[in-house]
Structure 1
Amino acid sequence: MTRRGSVGLLAVVAATGFALDQGTKEWALAALEPGQPRELIGTLLQLRLTFNPGAAFSIGTNATWVLTIIACVVIAFTIYSARKLRSRVWALGLGLLIGGALGNLTDRFFREPGFGKGHVVDFLELPNWPIFNVADICVVTAACLIALLSIRGIGLDGTKVTEDAPAHSRQVSDDE
Structure 2
Amino acid sequence: MVILAVVALCVYLIDQIAKVLVVSNLFEGQQIEVLGQLLQFHFVKNAGAAFSIGSGSTWIFSIVGVGVLGFVIWYAPRIRSTAWAVLFGLLLGGLLGNLTDRLFREPGFGVGHVVDFLQIPLLPAIFNLADVAIVSSMALFLILTLRGVGLDGRHAHDDDEDGVDETDAGLDVEPDAAEPAPDRRDEPKS
- Normalising by structure 2, we get a TM-score of 0.81
- Map 1:58-69 → 2, pairs under 5 A: 58-69=52-63
Residues 10-58 of structure 1, C-alpha deviation per residue, up to 9 Å, x if partnerless?
Answer: 0000000000000000000111111121111112111111000000011
Q: For residue 139 of structure 1, what is the aligned residue in structure 2?
A: 134
> Which position in structure 1 is the counterpart of 2:29?
35
- Does residue 157 of structure 1 match 2:175? no
| Structure 1 match to 2:11 | 17
Give distance in 1, aligned partners of 2:98 and 2:88. 16
Alpha-carbon separation, structure 1, partners of 2:52 and 2:112: 14
Runs of 4+ in structure 1 over 6 Å off: none
Count of residue pairs the alignment pairs up: 162
Q: Which residue of 2 is the match for residue 83 of structure 1?
A: 77
How far did 1:128 drift?
A: 3.3
Aligned-partner SS, 1:74: helix
Q: Percent identity at matched positions? A: 47
Give the number of the structure whose alpha-carbon radius of gyration is greater: 2
2:76 alignment partner AA: A
Which residue of the partner structure matches residue 117 of structure 2?
123
**2:170 match:** none
Question: Where do 5+ consecutive residues of structure 2 fail to align?
Answer: 158-162, 168-190
For 1:112, what is the secondary structure of its paired residue?
A: coil
Structure 1, unpaired ranges of 5+: 1-6, 168-176
Query: Where is the strand percentage greater, Structure 1 or Structure 2?
Result: 1
The answer to which of 72-81 and 97-106 deviates more is 72-81
**Alpha-carbon offset, residue 165 of structure 1:** 4.7
Compare 158-167 and 11-20 and name the one that shifted more: 158-167
